[in-house]
Chains A and B, each alone.
Chain A
């Protein structure tokens, strides 16, 4: 597809369960970002991947959160032992590369996670 694709679009899970959220970036984009947005709030940065470099995990809120990016393309965000405060829309974005002008980020439509 032409844009960033995220799946599932909606996920309802029970408290304590693990969830995996998937992001397919735009082909050829080397930078990939995960954000989350709680209801009525701004975007909160979680983690950033750039090429083969070590990811910037500075935004992950706890060790229950992790992410990987396989083959420099698809990324999976995993939340272990989900809590109700994890309920939010999780957004993925990608961009061509870092350190240059015009590297605007393109966002997916997000995964709405509800922990019950």
Chain B
């Protein structure tokens, strides 16, 4: 699976949009982009995934560039409870798959 690069930390004001970037310049055509987050002392939680179209669900939006070499996770109205480590993963379809988590981005939402 392609490697991903994320900034180690970011901060955001409560109520504002949090935009978390991820670079995956070696992504292949059959690889999806997945996002998870891990709130302190909890297990990771799935957020969203996509292939090339932008995706939105009740938690977040995922914007994938046209060349698919990078993506941005958007939390439209961040709350204090969104403070967590956010992980960007790319994975291929087919065969076995073991989610590999890098160091992620530590997002701190402040009042």
Contacts and interface: CB of A to CB of B under 8 A. Distances in A.
Interface residues of A, number: 24
A93 B43 contact: yes
Contact of A45 (B45, B46, B95, B100): B100
A109 B42 contact: yes
A69 to B, nearest CB: 15
A35 B51 CA distance: 26
B93 A101 contact: yes
A35 B95 CA distance: 20
Which 5 A-B pairs give the minimum distances between C-beta atoms? A107-B43, A104-B46, A43-B101, A107-B44, A99-B94
Given A33-B98, A42-B103, A110-B43, A99 B93 contact: yes
Contacts of B45: 107
A41 to B, nearest CB: 9
Nearest to A35: B101
B58 to A, nearest CB: 15
Nearest to A107: B43
Interface in A88-103: 91, 93, 98-103
Interface string A50-80: 1000001000000000000000000000000
Contacts of B34: 104
B46 A50 contact: no
B43 A108 contact: yes
B78 to A, nearest CB: 22
Contact of A48 (B51, B94, B98): B98
